[in-house]
Amino acid sequence: MMGMEKQHSMEDENSEYLYNPDILKKLDFGKSPAKFNPFISAAHPGEDWMVVRPLQRADYDKGFLQLLSQLTSTGSISRKQFDERFTQMKSAGGYYVTVIEDKRISKIIGAATLTIEQKFIHNCSVRGRLEDVVVNDTYRGKQLGKLIVVTVSLLAQELGCYKMSLDCKDKLIKFYESLGYKLEPGNSNAMNMR
C-alpha cells in the first residue's frame, strides 16, 4: 500500500502544470492576424494526437530539454535542477512555458515561452515577451511554429499585456510579420552584452 501511495503522489506531481491550462481554451484564434490553412487553434491543433498545454514536470521525461537543445545549448540538466527551476518559475509567476505534445509517443514537439514583466509605466501595466521558440523539424507542414507563437501571443493579450515583444534573426522577420509583429521605424534595435 505504501508503495502505491508513493506512486500515486509522484504521478500527481508529474502532471502538475506550470500555469492553469484552462486559459488556453479561452483564446480566440480568429483574433490573430495569422492565416491558418486549415484553421487550427490551441484547443484544436489539427490532429487528435496533438495537445497544446502548459509545461508539466513530467516533460523532463518527454524530451522537453532535448527539444530546447535544438535551439541552443542547454547543458546537462538533472531532474533535480529541472524541478527546482520549475518551482522557482511557478512561485515567481509570470512564466508561461507552453508546449505541444505528440501523445502517440509522449514527446514534446514544440515549445514557446511567454514571460510577463511587471511595470510601473502605463498605469502599472505588464509587458509580454516571446522567448525560446522551437519546433521539431520532422513535423514540418503542420503549422506548429505558427500555432505555438500565436498561442502565447494571444495569451499575452488575454493577460493584459500592453505590448508583446521579441528579438529575432533577419530570416525570421517575415514569419513574425505574418503573425502581427512589427519592426517599428527607428526603434527596432536589439542589443546584447555577453
CA angle (179, 127, 69) in 5-degree steps = 65
Distance in Å, CB of 36 to a second copy, minimum: 17
Name the grid cell of 37. 490553412
Binding marks (x or -) toward a second copy, 1..20, rule CB under 8 A? --------------------
CA distance 33 to 36: 9
Buried b / exposed e along 141-168 (16+ C-beta atoms within 10 A): ebbbbbbbbbbbbbbbeebebeebebee
Which region, judged by CB under 8 A, interacts with a second copy, from 5-13, 37-45, 137-145, 157-165? 157-165
Cβ-based neighbour number of residue 73 at 10 Å? 6
Q: Which of 20, 37, 138, 189 binds a second copy (CB under 8 A)?
A: 189
User: Which helix (H) or strand (E) element contains residue 131?
Assistant: strand 126-135
CA distance 45 to 43: 6
Cβ-based neighbour number of residue 190 at 10 Å? 8
Q: Counting contacts by CB under 8 A, is residue 123 touching a second copy?
A: yes
Instruction: Considering only residues 102 through 121, tell me which ones interact with a second copy, judged by CB under 8 A.
Output: 115, 117-121
Instruction: Considering only residues 39 through 98, tell me which ones interact with a second copy, judged by CB under 8 A.
Output: 64-65, 68, 71-77, 81-82, 84-85, 88-89, 92-95, 97
Q: Counting contacts by CB under 8 A, is residue 160 touching a second copy?
A: no
Name the residue nearer to a second copy (CB basis): 2 or 92: 92
Longest dimension (CA), the chain: 66
Q: Counting contacts by CB under 8 A, is residue 25 touching a second copy?
A: no
Q: Taking the CA atoms of the chain, what radius of gyration do you get in angstroms?
A: 17
Name the residue nearer to a second copy (CB basis): 46 or 176: 176
Q: Counting contacts by CB under 8 A, is residue 34 touching a second copy?
A: no
21 three-state secondary structure: coil
Q: Counting contacts by CB under 8 A, is residue 29 touching a second copy?
A: no
Q: Counting contacts by CB under 8 A, is residue 30 touching a second copy?
A: no
Kindly list the residues in this chain that would bind a second copy in the complex (CB under 8 A): 64-65, 68, 71-77, 81-82, 84-85, 88-89, 92-95, 97, 115, 117-124, 129, 131-132, 153, 162-173, 176-177, 179-184, 186-194
